[in-house]
Amino acid sequence: MQAFDLVIFGGTGDLSMRKLLPALYRAQAQGSVPVGSKIMVCSRKQKDYDQMQSIIEEKLKSFLKTDEFEVKQWQKFSKILQPVLLDLTDLSKGWDKFASLFEAKSERVRLFYLAVIPSIYGSCCKNLSKLKLITENSRLVVEKPLGYDLTSAEAINETMAKYFKEAQIYRIDHYLGKETVQNLLTLRFSNFLFENIWDSKAIDHIQISISEQVGLEGRAGFYDDVGAMRDMVQNHLLQLLCLLAIDSPNQLSSEAIRLEKVKVLKALRPLLGDDINKSTVRGQYVSGLINDKKVTGYLDELDDYQSNTETFVALKVFIDSWRWAGVPFYLRTGKRLKKRSAEIVVQFKSVTHNVYSQSNQKLKPNQLIIKLQPDEKIQLRLMANDIGGGTSSLEPILLNLDFGNNQNHPTSSSYQRLLLDAINGNSTLFIHRDEVKAAWKWVDPIIEHWKANETSPELYSAGSWGPSKSNEIFEKKHQYWHDVNK
């Protein structure tokens, strides 16, 4: 990799301090940042060089793991940091000086990270263009959720497209940077075992659950406008669903994978009218106990104590395709739930005839359980004889492939991977405009229906598994949420 220029617009904001700068610090510590690279941390607030450096140092200390921050390493890292005072909306404030910081070499990669609110994207891109800072080797990186709905997402995409080619735009979904998520593709497409049973003939249903223990973490202003559907389902959960449901791409190129993902998103059965009441549950947490500690309710974390925003969503989703006809996908995500976890359960059909029925033995269906975090595991539930138990009873057993615990892989590791991919021009793990469009097209009518019907979210206690109504979403009696502790 050649030395590059990386610019963080919104450099002193939450995303930059929590994820981007720790990811870059770690990348440099691991030797992945070539000598001569520059990281420009742009901010609108007047601060001198030393002030800015010490703010970044403090934040790194708090957001990196304790043993990761080293004074020597920080001294090295701080040398490539270049604080820049810039008003993103006003070309007369700081832009000339900013422009002078770039090297003239056209082959040098420039990466512009828009860690700011989307309403500023336009002026940022326009100013970069006016100052001729956008070169062939420039890339633009933006965060999810892109937009608020299909219309606003398309408006943002149009704006960016005026200044950057689609191939230069990298839309981040940090879940795609998680190693365990990449492992999903490997599991599916490098093992013959699963290929022939990955469809409605063999699979009963699939569950995707992302549960969080955290609440708003000081992001009330952002979150209350957005809610769990836009914050998590429109992007992270639908992306996981895509990786589980796609047909095999003919190669692992970004183009081939994207085509398959778009096919899945377009085949999602639209949820409309009364289907929405039957197939979705939205919830909001009230106070409760997490790890034996009392935590306040969602409304207490807001300023005006009034909000219908959902902090929990459960959905039943069908994909209308030959492969997935009739297979329900159950998605669930929420804040302030009992445990932090992300896992996928693929439940296979029961055997067609139970030859053990005369001895009253009950057979449990096979399950493939893919734990993404905090534990990284792939488990296969099989039925076997309880050997050594003195009886000839059948028991479910787990084949367990344990990759360790991903407390060692903080979220900023996903950013590290994705930032380096973007610098290297590898867009495989990024979201294409067509995917954003297809995802919003499916999500919008659900949110509009909720709004039009003014349905209040179901309340659930912090520390629970969400509203009990989410247990009623299942198609069949034998289906229920997998116990995350298992």
**Closest approach of Cβ 235 to ligand BG6, in Å?**
7
**Number of chain residues interacting with ligand BG6 (CB under 6 A):** 3
Residues 156-215 binding ligand BG6 (CB under 6 A) are: 212
Q: Is 380 exposed, middle or buried (0-12, 13-18, 19+ CB in 10 A)?
A: middle
CA–CA gap between residue 420 and residue 422 (Å, rounded):
5
**Closest approach of Cβ 188 to ligand BG6, in Å?**
22
Query: What would the x/- binding string for ligand BG6 be over residues 415 to 434, using CB under 6 A?
Result: --------------------
CA–CA gap between residue 171 and residue 150 (Å, rounded):
15
Residues 426-485 binding ligand BG6 (CB under 6 A) are: none
Answer whether the bond into residue 457 is a cis peptide, omega within 30°.
no
43, 366, 411, 412: which one contacts ligand BG6 (CB under 6 A)? Answer: 411
Q: Pick the catalytic residue: 236, 409, 432, 449? A: 236
CA–CA gap between residue 314 and residue 332 (Å, rounded):
4
The region that residue 17 occupies, defined by phi over 0 for left and psi between -120 and 50 for alpha, beta otherwise, is alpha
Residue among 172, 112, 113 nearest 427 (CA):
172
Q: Is 479 exposed, middle or buried (0-12, 13-18, 19+ CB in 10 A)?
A: middle
Is 236 known to be catalytic? yes
Q: For residue 19, what is the DSSP state? A: I
**Closest approach of Cβ 86 to ligand BG6, in Å?**
25
Tokens of 58: 């403090």
**Closest approach of Cβ 91 to ligand BG6, in Å?**
31
Residues 212-241 binding ligand BG6 (CB under 6 A) are: 212, 231
Q: Are 204 and 176 in contact (CB under 8 A)?
A: no
Closer to ligand BG6 by Cβ: residue 52 or 244: 244
CA–CA gap between residue 358 and residue 355 (Å, rounded):
7
**Closest approach of Cβ 231 to ligand BG6, in Å?**
5
Q: Which residue is nearest to ligand BG6 (CB)?
A: 411
Closer to ligand BG6 by Cβ: residue 65 or 165: 65
Q: Are 177 and 429 in contact (CB under 8 A)?
A: yes
Closer to ligand BG6 by Cβ: residue 163 or 285: 285
CA–CA gap between residue 268 and residue 448 (Å, rounded):
17
**Closest approach of Cβ 411 to ligand BG6, in Å?**
4
**Closest approach of Cβ 127 to ligand BG6, in Å?**
27
Tokens of 316: 């039943």
CA–CA gap between residue 373 and residue 408 (Å, rounded):
10
301 binds ligand BG6 (CB under 6 A): no
Strands (E), 173-226: 203-211
Q: How far is CA 323 from the centre of its chain?
A: 25
**Closest approach of Cβ 172 to ligand BG6, in Å?**
9
Closer to ligand BG6 by Cβ: residue 174 or 261: 174
DSSP string, 271-339: P-THHHHHHEEEEEEESEEETTEEE--TGGGSSSS-----SEEEEEE-B-STTTTT--EEEEEESSBSS
| Active site positions, annotated | 236
Binding site for ligand BG6 (CB under 6 A): 212, 231, 411
